[in-house]
Amino acid sequence: MIIALLWIVAIGLGLTLVYVAGRLCYDTWSAVKQRRYDKSVGQLAPPWRDTKVLAIVAQLAFAVVVGLAFWYLWGNFRDRTDAIGLDLSFDFLDQPAGITIADNPLTAADTVGEAITAGFLNTIRIIIVGIPLAVLLGTLVGIARLSNNWLLRKLATGYVEFFRNIPPLVVIVFIWSGVYLTAFPRSSESWRPLNWFVFNNAKFAFPSIEGLDGFVTFRWIVLAAVIAALAVGYWRTQVFVKTGAAHHRVLWGLGTLLTIGTVAYFALDGPVKFSRPTLDEAGRIYEGGIRMQMPYAAMVTALVLYTATHISEIVRGSIQAVDKGQVEASEALALSGFQRYRFVILPQAMRIAFPPLINQFLNFSKNSSLALLIGFGEITSIINNLAGQSQPAPQLIFILMLLYLVISLVLSLLGNLINRKLQIVGR
Amino acid sequence: MSDLFLADPIVVDPEPRPHGRLSPGAWARANLFDSRVNSVITVIAGLIAGFLTWAAIAWLISIDFTIIRDTLRIFMIGQFPDDELWRLWAAGMVLMTAIGLAAGATARNAHDVAISQGLAPDPSGPLLLARRFWAILAVLILFASFARTIQPMVGVLAAIALVFLVRQLAWAAPAAIRTRAMYVTALLVVASMLVVAGTSRLGGLCIGLVVFVWALNETGRRDFSGSSGKVLRWLITVSAAVLAGVIVAMIGFEGFGWKEWGGIHVNLFTAVVGIALGMPLGILLALGRQSKLPVVRTASVLYIEFVRGVPLISLLLFSKLLLPLFLPITMERPTSLTLAIIVIMGFSAAYIAEIVRGGLQAVAKGQTEAAQALGLSPGAMQRLIILPQALRAVIPAMVGQFIALFKDTTLLTTVAVLEFLDAAAIANNQPQFLGKGLAPVTYLFVAVGFWAFAFTMSKESRRLERRLGVGTR
């Protein structure tokens, strides 16, 4: 996978170079043609007064200077790497990595490529869980800051002004060592609310679903049921659009899902059961449930708390940017406060808020690299560890930057696609 | 790490509700219990606020700040030796003078402009200033109060007094001096850094540069018309700059190496240097991105998008592991702070480029056309018409970038620079405090320190935004 990425980047850069060189050649050719024509009509300007010639000369000079700088740096680089005998190939990806990651089945014998992939997946886990939470919290706080309830407004303002002005790294370290490590008990004295959850300062555990016989079939049936529910919801929307009858699409959809699920559950004779985390004598969780490492929990909490402040400022600004007439019209229609936000203000505010929100998503994904300091095994700390295991640093850093560029690119592509859906088509 | 020019829409504070003349009961009914839903919200929010306040107060009373008292030195200055401490004090005082001078001169100029246009000038006075900067003042006094000797307290109070004094002096100074205050400020800032780092060729170069710009501006005021006048003008400015550089290099006194720098002054220093050095490159990149020349545009876009697409931490890892490999083989490995500053400069340049691009796009097209109609050359058009307007429009966003960079300097801890956050880790690892669970105390101290600076600066930038009228035109 990593090698394929490298090839894509190489091809992309090559195409860009070809494009630029092609443009330059075309410009030169058209300038020459123009000057021939000018000469034939006897209006040839001296070359130092011809903007076309000047532009070509300036670009050539720029390219030569940049190329020389790169050539000089590359020479230095080769001298240094030759002196320490560094291998610049990507063969090391198949060598054993010699590192382990907490809460990951990876062993020291697994290859560097597998370690990097595991780290990349951990980064994705932070991003996928964190961004929706941050948007949710940020929207709520943004609305709260505009509430006419004095106490709620001040509470939200205090939260935003406090967390916005602290470096994210300090938030992370403070949440980790100040809140999670000290406020939760040691594992031998774990809190076990309802006997279903386990909280201690090493990990959290929640109940989960465990598959028994026929689980694979059941999973497919549930997937089909979800699709059926969506279809039913779409059908109800169509009915609503055509006849104006109440759609109740959420009720209909959930009903479909639950009916199919229940029937399948009994037909397959109970293919799933709840599993709860169980502790041994020393307080270690030895089976059942879904577990969450403490650094991961701290990381997600801190990043959500930090990013939500920025999102709330964006949401607040966009709500205020919604035309005042819209709010007055919804008041004239006697919509309740909730209806006003749900049907009139938020849909329009989201349209304004989305482009800057994409920026915050990118910031969130980049800030996930800060986990390096609290030892969560995401991509940056894995790369740092690997470099400490005397794996070649140049290639590692190159791969690290490449993977982040891929994340940024995918996020902004997705964001722009959604944004295009949100904007009003017209004019 | 945020693109502030795009990220933050202009936020207007909600209209204040009239509660000045209401009785407490009526005010509570109007603002807290005016409907059933609001009453429920008030009760829930009140419970949350009450719990948080109670928990915070109980915790603050229970903790012991001995660890801060004992390790305050590491937080403030790292491992700076005692004999050389006067350098930091002198640098701090010179810097305070510079800040006071710039603040007083700009405030008075804005005041005069407002009066000449018949507008109500912004009110200003010592009390109002204290209210605007309460967070920084409170934190400075808090820091000083943790000191074990009397000297730092006196020093901090003297510095605060100095700022106010110089500000009042600059306010009262004649206009001829005030218009030149920015050059004096730049000189003072360079000088304050040189007091610590020592004068060398670099110091001469910096001072020479400032003098060069000043002299260019001064000679530009007089009418040096004709081509011989032009030659004379450049001759005067260049020789003044060289003279200043030579004098500084001759005075030259030993400085103090970056290796031993540490504490919060490294964060401030890195943020200032990163923005100041990133600015010229950033403006060039922004112009390059707007350029019609495909080679220049592609190179700028590639650079900007690459730097903005990767996190700063990966660039810092690059500076630690890779950047030394690109230096000539005969050269010694520079200190980690030098390497980090090089990378931070390139990093902030990419972000500044995007901010400046926003400003360039905000300049009305008619301005360009008018400049072309006047027959200005492309260079003169950018220099005289477009850039001044674009840069003025992005000052608040630039302050926002400075705050973001200031917050990002905590990442220096990953490349083994002893900055403010790293100092907390060191304090926690002192043998007498190890394993006592004091990490929350030190991290709270760090958080409050950063908060005061960032909070005040962001408030000031919003004030600036309102005053410049950005976004309301």
Determine how β-strand A198-199 pairs with β-strand A290-293.
Answer: unpaired
What's the whole-number mean pLDDT along residues A365-377?
88
Of A177, A313, A387, the CB nearest to B11: A313
Q: Do A62 and B296 touch (CB under 8 A)?
A: yes
Contact of B4 with A310, CB cutoff 8 Å: no
pLDDT digits (tens, 9 = 90+) for B52-63: 899 889 888 888
Query: What distance in Å separates the CA atoms of residue B91 and residue B198, rounded to the nearest whole number?
Result: 11
What's the whole-number mean pLDDT along residues A55-84?
91
**The predicted structure's pLDDT at residue A363:** 93
Phi and psi, residue A201, nearest 5°: -85, 10
Q: For residue A142, what are its two tokens?
A: 């943004």
Q: Do B311 and A367 touch (CB under 8 A)?
A: yes
**DSSP state, residue A192:** -
**The predicted structure's pLDDT at residue B440:** 83
Contact residues on chain B for A393, CB-CB shorter than 8 A = 321-322
Examine the pLDDT at B13 and tell me if it is beyond 50.
Answer: yes
What's the whole-number mean pLDDT along residues B366-379?
89
CATH code for the domain in which residue B461 is found: 1.10.3720.10
Q: Do A397 and B321 touch (CB under 8 A)?
A: yes
pLDDT-derived band at A287, boundaries 50, 70, 90: low
Contact of B263 with B412, CB cutoff 8 Å: no
pLDDT digits (tens, 9 = 90+) for A152-205: 889 999 999 999 999 999 999 888 887 887 777 776 667 777 767 777 777 777
Return residues 308-327 of A near B (CB < 8 Å).
310, 313-314, 316-318, 320-321
Contact A23/B at CB under 8 A: yes
Contact residues on chain A for B309, CB-CB shorter than 8 A = 404-405, 408-409
**The predicted structure's pLDDT at residue B187:** 82
Q: Which residue of A has its CA nearest to B306?
A: A405
**The predicted structure's pLDDT at residue B223:** 62
| SS3 call for A273 | strand
Query: Look-up: residue for tokens 């799933």?
Result: A272
The rounded Cα B465 to chain-centroid distance in angstroms is 16
Strand partners, B278: none
Examine the pLDDT at B300 and tell me if it is beyond 60.
Answer: yes
* Host domain of residue B436: 262-473
Strand partners, A209: A274
pLDDT digits (tens, 9 = 90+) for B350-360: 999 999 998 98
DSSP labels for A10-63? HHHHHHHHHHHHHHHHHHHHHHHHHHHHHHHTT-PPPGGG-HHHHHHHHHHHHH
**The predicted structure's pLDDT at residue B297:** 92
Contact A140/B at CB under 8 A: no
**The predicted structure's pLDDT at residue A419:** 84
What's the whole-number mean pLDDT along residues A366-383?
88
Q: What percent of chain A has pLDDT over 90?
A: 29
Domain count, chain B: 1
Query: What distance in Å separates the CA atoms of residue B364 and residue B350, rounded to the nearest whole number?
Result: 24
Q: How far is A46 from chain B (nearest CA, A)?
A: 18
Q: Which residue of B has its CA nearest to A317?
A: B11
Contact of B263 with B419, CB cutoff 8 Å: yes
> What does the mean pLDDT of chain A come to?
85
Identify the top-confidence range among A48-57, A230-239, B446-455.
Answer: B446-455
Q: How far is B321 from chain A (nearest CA, A)?
A: 6
Contact residues on chain A for B267, CB-CB shorter than 8 A = none
What's the whole-number mean pLDDT along residues B253-275?
79
Q: Is residue B131 part of a domain?
A: no
Return residues 383-402 of A near B (CB < 8 Å).
383-384, 387, 393-394, 396-397, 400-401
Contact A107/B at CB under 8 A: no
**The predicted structure's pLDDT at residue A425:** 64
Q: Is residue B436 part of a domain?
A: yes
Burial class (CB in 10 A: 0-12, 13-18, 19+), A49: exposed
Strand partners, A279: A285
**The predicted structure's pLDDT at residue B227:** 65
The rounded Cα B325 to chain-centroid distance in angstroms is 31
Interface ipTM: 0.85
**DSSP state, residue A114:** H
Contact of B312 with B1, CB cutoff 8 Å: yes
**The predicted structure's pLDDT at residue B278:** 92
Q: Is residue B71 part of a domain?
A: no
Residue type (1 letter), A305: L
Contact residues on chain A for B405, CB-CB shorter than 8 A = none
Q: Is residue B12 part of a domain?
A: no
More confident residue, A227 or B37: A227
Contact B130/A at CB under 8 A: no
pLDDT-derived band at B133, boundaries 50, 70, 90: confident
**The predicted structure's pLDDT at residue B222:** 64
Query: What distance in Å separates the CA atoms of residue A267 and residue A94, rounded to the nearest whole number?
Result: 47
Q: Do A152 and B328 touch (CB under 8 A)?
A: no
Examine the pLDDT at B423 and tell me if it is beyond 80.
Answer: yes
Contact A181/B at CB under 8 A: yes
**The predicted structure's pLDDT at residue B373:** 93
Q: Which residues of B359-388 are buried (b: 16+ CB within 10 A; e: fewer)?
A: bbeebeeeebeebeeeebeeeebbeebbbe
Q: Name, in order, each residue with C-beta under 8 angstroms of B51's C-beta and a sequence gap of 6 or more.
A: none
Q: How far is B289 from chain A (nearest CA, A)?
A: 14
What's the whole-number mean pLDDT along residues B330-336?
83
Query: What distance in Å separates the CA atoms of residue B38 and residue B107, rounded to the nearest whole number?
Result: 44
Examine the pLDDT at B5 and tell me if it is beyond 50.
Answer: no
Examine the pLDDT at B420 and tell me if it is beyond 80.
Answer: yes
Give the residue from B258, B193, B257, B197 showing the smallest Cα distance to B417: B258
Q: Which residue of B has its CA nearest to A18?
A: B295
pLDDT-derived band at A68, boundaries 50, 70, 90: very high
What's the whole-number mean pLDDT along residues B396-413?
91
Residue type (1 letter), B344: I
More confident residue, A408 or B396: A408
Q: Is residue B157 part of a domain?
A: no
Q: Name, in order, each residue with C-beta under 8 angstroms of B320's C-beta and a sequence gap of 6 or more.
A: B336, B339, B414, B415, B416
**The predicted structure's pLDDT at residue B472:** 42
Q: Which residues of A393-413 are buried (b: 16+ CB within 10 A; e: fewer)?
A: bbbbbbbbbbbbbebbeebbe
Contact residues on chain B for A360, CB-CB shorter than 8 A = 2, 7
Return residues 40-59 of B near A (CB < 8 Å).
41-42, 45-46, 48-49
**The predicted structure's pLDDT at residue B256:** 66
Q: Which residue of A has its CA nearest to B440?
A: A178
Q: Do B411 and A337 touch (CB under 8 A)?
A: no
Contact residues on chain A for B38, CB-CB shorter than 8 A = 148-149
Q: Is residue B68 part of a domain?
A: no
pLDDT digits (tens, 9 = 90+) for B173-207: 888 888 788 888 888 888 887 777 766 667 777 78
Q: Do A405 and B407 touch (CB under 8 A)?
A: no
pLDDT digits (tens, 9 = 90+) for A20-42: 999 999 989 999 998 899 889 88
pLDDT digits (tens, 9 = 90+) for B301-321: 999 999 999 999 999 999 988
Say which range, A63-67, A101-105, A333-337, B382-386, has the weakest mean pLDDT.
A101-105
Query: Look-up: residue for tokens 């006067």?
Result: B86
Q: Is residue B366 part of a domain?
A: yes
Query: What distance in Å separates the CA atoms of residue A307 and residue A360, rounded to the nearest whole number?
Result: 7
Q: Is residue B146 part of a domain?
A: no
Examine the pLDDT at A407 and tell me if it is beyond 70.
Answer: yes
pLDDT-derived band at B9, boundaries 50, 70, 90: very low
Beginning with the edge strand found earlier in the chain, give each strand of the sheet holding A203-206 in spatial order.
Answer: A198-199, A203-206, A290-293
